[in-house]
Amino acid sequence: MNELRVSIARHAVAAAPARLMCIGVGSCVIIMIRDTTKSVGALAHVLLPAETDGGATSTAHPARYANTAVPLLVHALKARGAHGPYVAKLAGGAGLFADVLTPKGRIGERNVDAARTALAEAGIAIASEDVGGGSGRSIVFDIDTGNVAVRLAGGDTRVT
């Protein structure tokens, strides 16, 4: 089985059998979208809610921002022959440093809210979420089954 690790501000698309993974996710949000009929999935490791939150422009790194990552993933899925229906899952968005706020508020919460908004605008339902809290996570997205294994920094593993 092909396993691909996806770094911060990057994305990947794969067909079953494959797994897409993100290790050591803190305030970032992981957006996973799967075509339920083609067993093709895509994942973005999102750093910030929107392009206006600083950093490079979305044209340079569209997976960096929730508002540009969702259209990027849909385009990548379509390029692999997917056409929907799509289903999404979210993970991450932890508040690891509760006392440290950006000028606009807690970044983990804002990342999750922006991902939800972008998915709603694309008409993609969210099947499950493992978001928030105070622990980092590692995520494994199984393209074949659509299952997401989330391992918390403390050692517990959940499957959604």
Region for 53 from its dihedrals, namely left if φ exceeds 0, alpha if ψ lies in -120 to 50, beta otherwise: alpha
**What CA–CA distance (Å, rounded) separates 131 from 54?**
23
Per-residue pLDDT of 44-69, as tens digits, reads: 999 999 976 555 444 578 999 999 99
Domain with 121 in it: 2-159
Report which secondary-structure segment, H or E, holds 139.
Answer: strand 137-142
* CATH number of the domain within which 115 lies: 3.30.1330.200
SS3 118: helix
Per-residue pLDDT of 81-94, as tens digits, reads: 999 899 999 999 99
- What is the per-residue pLDDT for 103? 55
What average pLDDT does this structure show over 124-145?
95
SS3 65: strand
Q: For residue 155, is pLDDT > 90?
A: no
pLDDT band with cut points at 50, 70 and 90 for residue 160 = confident
Quick check: 95 and 51 in contact, CB under 8 A?
Answer: no
Domain count, the chain: 1
**What CA–CA distance (Å, rounded) separates 96 from 76?**
31
pLDDT band with cut points at 50, 70 and 90 for residue 105 = low
**What CA–CA distance (Å, rounded) separates 135 from 151?**
10
Tokens of 109: 């919460």
Q: For residue 111, is pLDDT > 80?
A: yes
- What is the per-residue pLDDT for 43? 98
pLDDT band with cut points at 50, 70 and 90 for residue 9 = very high
Tokens of 149: 């294994």
Residue 59: DSSP 8-state: T
Give the type of residue at 5: R
Q: For residue 22, is pLDDT > 60?
A: yes
**What CA–CA distance (Å, rounded) separates 132 from 96?**
9
